[in-house]
Structures are given as structure tokens and as C-alpha cells.
Amino acid sequence: MLTDYHLHLRPDELDASVASHHTRANAERYREAAGERGIAELGVSEHIYRFKQALEVWDHPLWVSFAHDDLDAYCAFVREQTDLKLGIEADFVPGREDRTANLLQARELDYVVGSVHFLSDGALDMEGEYSVWNSGRSVEQVWGRYFEMIAQSARCGLFDVIAHPDLVKIWGDPHRRPEGDPRRYYEPAVEAIAEAGVAVEVSTAGLRKPVGEIYTARAFLELCVQAEVPVALSSDAHRREDVGAGYAQAIELLDAVGVRELSVFERRTRRLEPLGADGGSAMAGSSEAAAR
Ligand SMILES: [Zn+2]
Ligand SMILES: [Zn+2]
């Protein structure tokens, strides 16, 4: 089986509306793209901060500008009008674990992808006003704090999958990368992920970013394999064309480090399935889910 769980049915632009993207036809386009690539198991995980209810968790100005949609309408749409698993990409906001738990536990999700996009108020993956890279921290401080947050996000118990766990490398800029072997940052994070029993995401999104590499780095993934951390495979696509993008490279990496199974989720329970593309089962998966 192949999975693509970390999917967005719309781009990150503010004007990408629910009305034009959260439609049965759009979900079917994603399902078709996945089928062409032998991906049987699909789920959608929209950003939590696109929903009004996220402002109960955090009121970062960026969230305030994006939080327009209704979370329950999203859940109902995915359940009633699509054959996709229902997930969400939720930011880890330290100190707001209880509020995040209240929001997540009130919905019947299949899985929660947990992300670290911010260190305090500074975004890792944005340039400009809200960028952490303009916050006066050294590169070592940014990397150190980032991987501490990854460890905390695993331990907090809110998430099923730790998303893009080395997002901090996104810019591929040598001035934004500490000298020497990065495993000193990875090791405590992987230890926390293993102890917490959560899955780690292998995401091809990094191939489409300036860094041009899969998340996670091979060295990070090797530590995960040693610690027997389960893997969840995703593209983090925000448009149909990117569903399953770069999977040949991801599968090569998974094979090289000895990953043979992928995590599959249903109602927040994980099981493992043998890794591998299967056009036939992609179609079967579609009709079976549609009949549900
Ligand atoms: Zn993300
Ligand atoms: Zn995402």
C-alpha cells in the first residue's frame, strides 16, 4: 500500500476559498491523481488555522488573518461528500495543549498531523514580517529550539504523526544551517518520538522547496528506523498535480534505510501495512470507501 495523508485541497493563499476547493469534484480529482500513481490510501489534513475555532487556541496575527472557515463544516464535508480519510494539520502551540486537545477531541478525526511551523511568534517557513530568521536568534539557537519543539510535540500526546520533522532546513541556505553533523539535533527529537509512540512523516514537500530534499534527511530517518518509529508517507500537496509527487524518490529512500511498512490510520488508531504501489488496490480502495 501507498498512502498520502498530508493533503490540502487548496493552496495556502488567503483567497483559496472553501466554496471552490472543498467540493466533491475536487476531492475526486485528488483521488484520480492518486490512483494514477498507485496510491490507495488518501486523507485530507487542512491547516487548523484556516478555521475560526483555531482562534480559541492561539491568536497569532497570521492566524487571525486566515481563520475564516468552520471546522465542523469541513469535517462534515470530508465525511459526507468524499471517500478521503479525515485528518487535520494542527500546529503545536506550547502552553496551549489543553485548548488544542479540546478542539481535536470534539471531532471524530482519523488522524492528526502535528506540525511545528513557529518558534514563539516567528515562522520557520516564511520570509518577511513573521519570519523567525529575522528574530535575532543564531542559527544554532533556531535549530536547537526547533528540534526541542519537535520533541515536545511528540510527547504532548496530541498528534498521531509528526509532520515534516526537519522543516527547519527548508531554505537550503548554508547560512541557515549549523556547521557539523546535524545528528546532535536529531537524536533527542527521535528519542522523544520513539518514546511517545507516534509516527514520523516522510514528506516529499521538501523536494518542492528551496532545499530540494525530502523531509526527513536520511540520517534522521535512519535514527527513526533504529528506534523502530513507524513511518507515514505523504506529499503535503496543495493542488492535484502534487498528489504523490516525488514518491519514486521517497520509496527509494525508504527502501534504502529498510522501511518496509507504512502507517495507516482510522479513527485515530494506527496499523501498519506493507509498503508498495498497487494500481488495482487503488481502485478497490476507492470504491470500498465510496460505499461506506
Ligand atoms: Zn506544514
Ligand atoms: Zn501541510
Q: At what angle do helices 183-196 and 218-226 cross, to 10 degrees?
A: 40
Distance 46 CA to ligand 2 centre (A): 7
- The 10s digit of each residue's pLDDT in 23-74 is 999 999 999 999 999 999 999 999 999 999 999 999 999 999 999 999 999 9
The CA 46 to ligand 1 mean position distance, Å, reads: 10
Which grid coordinates belong to 201? 512523516
CA of 12, nearest ligand number: 2
Instruction: Write out the residues surrounding ion ligand 2, Cβ under 5 A.
Output: 89, 236
From the CA of 47, how far away is ligand 2's center (Å)?
7
Q: What are the grid coordinates assigned to 255, written together?
A: 527502501
Residue 184 pLDDT greater than 80, yes or no: yes
pLDDT value of residue 277: 83
Q: How far is the CA of 241 from the centre of ligand 1 (A)?
A: 18
Backbone angles phi, psi at 231, to 5 degrees: -110, 140
Burial class from Cβ neighbours inside 10 Å (0-12, 13-18, 19+) for residue 30 reads buried
Helix axes 24-36, 71-81, angle to 10 degrees: 60
pTM: 0.93
Q: Has residue 273 got a pLDDT over 70? A: yes
Alpha-carbon distance of 39 to 203, in angstroms, equals: 14
CB 209 within 8 A of CB 170: yes
pLDDT 10s digits, 217-228: 999 999 999 999
How many CA atoms does the CB half-sphere of 203 hold within 13 Å? 25
User: Quick one: which ligand is closest to 167's CA?
Assistant: 1
C-alpha–C-alpha distance, residues 121 and 178, integer Å? 22
Which ligand is nearest the CA of 116, by number?
1
Residue 107: count of CB within 10 angstroms of its CB? 14
How close is the Cα of 114 to the center of ligand 1, in Å?
A: 8
Cα of 291 vs centre of ligand 1, distance in Å, is 31
Q: Which helix (H) or strand (E) holds 85?
A: strand 85-91
pLDDT tens digits for range 103-116: 999 999 999 999 99
- CA 279 – ligand 2 centroid, Å: 25
